[in-house]
């Protein structure tokens, strides 16, 4: 009879549903892990970029200060030489 032939298929449907739910849970867990890893890596990359920008800014400021000090030193040296020439001139 037809019912006895389709009964095994009917009994397989709930097991197949449980398998699908289990597989979906695994996929969801892996997706969440992957998203968290991506977010963590992006955050780390952003922090490294920010650190590099701060360092470059500090170095640029230090170079500007060195340049300013060098210009001041040259100006003072020029004034000193001019004063010396005035004394002997």
Q: What is the pLDDT of residues 23-63, one digit of tens each?
A: 999 999 999 999 999 999 999 888 887 777 888 888 999 99
3-state secondary structure of 9: helix
More confident residue, 87 or 14: 14
Distance from C-alpha of 63 to C-alpha of 69, rounded to nearest angstrom:
10
Give how far the C-alpha of residue 52 lies from the chain's centroid of Cα atoms, to the nearest Å.
11
pLDDT at 87: 67
Give how far the C-alpha of residue 24 lies from the chain's centroid of Cα atoms, to the nearest Å.
31
**pTM score:** 0.51
pLDDT at 19: 93
């Amino acid at each position: 009879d037809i019912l006895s032939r389709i009964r095994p298929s009917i009994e397989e449907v709930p097991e197949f549903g449980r398998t699908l739910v289990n597989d979906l849970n695994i996929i969801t867990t892996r997706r969440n892990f992957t998203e968290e890893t991506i977010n963590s890596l992006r955050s780390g990359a952003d922090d490294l970029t920010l650190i590099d920008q701060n360092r470059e800014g500090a170095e640029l400021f230090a170079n500007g200060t060195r340049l300013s000090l060098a210009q001041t030193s040259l100006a003072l040296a020029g004034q000193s030489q001019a004063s010396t020439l005035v004394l002997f001139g």
